């Protein structure tokens, strides 16, 4: 099977590498010609000089997977692709698009006979080695065509991916996933901040987080990453206590309001990220460290300030 991957950043590039390991042929395009050339040499990806060139290297039914920023970049690319594709072809949005936009785009492409799949994608910078968790929204027919690709990207062919429902449901599931992620991270950060604040005990946070990783009810991959980070640096003095939000946390809170469902933990976790712009607190340094550990998100350094 062969597909085109548009957008070869931290996630898209590693997804190409994993697909190639799984025997999937990939034609890749990115605005950076250097990135394209390097990935082609490294992974055996077929290089494309443009999106049109990438599409031209595919055989029907053509599959184009987008790993682009949510909003205007994805919107424009889907609009452009509609003029290059034909009925029976498939577009996949693997980014963090708002599910309302996804439903609208899917309906628009369906009017033109073009299939659409939204893939909520989790795994961050670790997805290359560990596999990606893929939450897929599509018609049964499109999901079946994409099955070999999903199996190659997932941790194993029989787990780590699921066709959760119709178009839009994949991005909706990923949105709620990220809202939960906000709450979990906030709980860890506040708890560890309290441990650190009990100065009379002189607690070793690296020791405690490592301890919790084994048979504790609060163990998780987030805790694994936090323990590893604290093993190397407990002060986190070089990391500013500034925690960005990707947007999906905001959408989750809006969804809670729309449904009239109480979600105080998720809502407050989002508000605490806004509050972090005041640049105070060890908990916020921890949150920034966690985001960097699992997703490679940039942290603000205190050096030079």
Query: Is 3.40.50.720 the CATH number for 2-166?
Result: yes
Residue listed under structure tokens 């070089």:
238
pTM metric for this prediction: 0.90
Q: What is the pLDDT of residues 155-201, one digit of tens each?
A: 999 999 999 999 999 999 999 999 999 999 999 999 999 999 999 99
Confidence of residue 296 (pLDDT cuts 50, 70, 90): confident
Residue listed under structure tokens 């062969």:
2
Confidence of residue 305 (pLDDT cuts 50, 70, 90): very low
Mean pLDDT, rounded, of the chain: 94
Query: Is 3.40.50.300 the CATH number for 175-295?
Result: no
Catalytic residues: 174, 181
Dist. CA 136–CA 150, nearest whole Å:
9
pLDDT above 50: residue 91: yes
138 neighbors 166 (Cβ within 8 angstroms): yes
As a whole number, mean pLDDT of residues 197-224 equals 97
Instruction: Please tell me the total number of residues recorded for the chain in this structure.
Output: 305
Lowest mean pLDDT, pick from 86-100, 264-278, 286-300? 286-300
As a whole number, mean pLDDT of residues 114-130 equals 95
All structural domains of the chain with their residue ranges: 2-166, 175-295
pLDDT above 70: residue 278: no
Share of the chain above pLDDT 70, in %: 97
**Cα separation values, 246 from 98, 132, 143, 251, 254, Å:** 11, 19, 27, 10, 14
What pLDDT does residue 280 have?
Answer: 67
As a whole number, mean pLDDT of residues 129-154 equals 98
pLDDT above 70: residue 303: no
Which residues, other chains included, contact 85 with Cβ-Cβ below 8 Å and sequence gap of 6+?
55, 62, 64, 91, 114
As a whole number, mean pLDDT of residues 219-223 equals 95
91 neighbors 54 (Cβ within 8 angstroms): no
As a whole number, mean pLDDT of residues 147-158 equals 98
């Amino acid at each position: 099977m062969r597909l085109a991957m548009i957008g070869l950043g931290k996630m898209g590039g590693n997804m190409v590498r994993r697909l190639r390991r799984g025997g999937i042929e990939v034609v890749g395009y990115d605005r950076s010609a250097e990135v394209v050339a390097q990935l082609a040499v490294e992974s055996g990806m077929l290089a494309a000089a443009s999106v049109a060139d990438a599409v031209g290297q595919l055989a029907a039914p053509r599959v184009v997977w987008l790993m682009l920023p949510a909003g205007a970049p994805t919107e424009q690319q889907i609009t452009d692709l509609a003029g290059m594709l034909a009925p029976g072809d498939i577009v996949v949005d693997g980014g963090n698009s708002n599910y309302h936009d996804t439903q609208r785009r899917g309906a628009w492409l369906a009017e033109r006979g073009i299939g659409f799949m939204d893939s909520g994608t989790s795994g961050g910078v670790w997805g290359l080695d560990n596999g990606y968790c893929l939450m897929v929204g599509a018609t049964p027919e499109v999901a079946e065509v994409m099955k070999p690709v999903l199996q190659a990207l997932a941790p194993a062919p029989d787990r780590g991916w699921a066709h959760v429902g119709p178009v839009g449901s994949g991005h909706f599931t990923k949105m709620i996933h990220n809202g939960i992620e906000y709450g979990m991270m906030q709980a860890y950060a506040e708890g560890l901040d309290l441990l650190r604040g009990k100065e009379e005990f002189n607690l070793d946070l690296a020791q405690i987080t490592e301890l919790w990783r084994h048979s504790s009810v609060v163990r998780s991959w987030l805790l694994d990453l936090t323990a590893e980070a604290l093993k190397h640096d407990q002060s986190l003095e070089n990391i500013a206590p500034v925690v960005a939000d990707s947007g999906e946390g905001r959408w989750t809170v809006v969804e809670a309001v729309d449904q009239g469902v109480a979600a105080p933990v998720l809502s407050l976790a989002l508000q605490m990220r806004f509050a972090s712009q005041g640049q105070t607190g060890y908990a916020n340094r921890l949150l920034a460290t966690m985001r960097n550990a699992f997703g490679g998100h940039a942290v603000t350094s205190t050096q030079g300030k």
